[in-house]
Amino acid sequence: MVEKILQTVGKRKRAVARAVFRPGKGRVTVNSQPLENFQNEIIRLKMQEPLLLAGDGWKKWDIRIRVDGGGIMGQAEAVRQAIARGLSQLLGEKVKKQFLAYDRTLLVSDPRRNEPAKPPHSSWGARRYKQRSKR
SS (H, E, C) the chain: CCCCCEEEEEEECCEEEEEEEEECCCCEEECCEEHHHCCCHHHHHHHHHHHHHHCCHHHHEEEEEEEECCCHHHHHHHHHHHHHHHHHHHHCHHHHHHHHHHCHHHCCCCCCCCCCCCHHHCCCCCCCCCCCCCC
pLDDT above 90 for 97: yes
List the domain boundaries for the chain. 6-108
Convert the pLDDT of each residue in 35-54 to its tens digit: 999 899 999 999 999 999 99
pLDDT above 90 for 120: no
* CATH number for the domain formed by residue range(s) 6-108: 3.30.230.10
Q: In the predicted model, what is the mean pLDDT of the chain? A: 91
pLDDT above 90 for 119: no
pLDDT above 90 for 122: no
What's the rounded mean pLDDT across residues 101-116?
90
pLDDT for 52 = 92
What's the rounded mean pLDDT across residues 78-98?
94
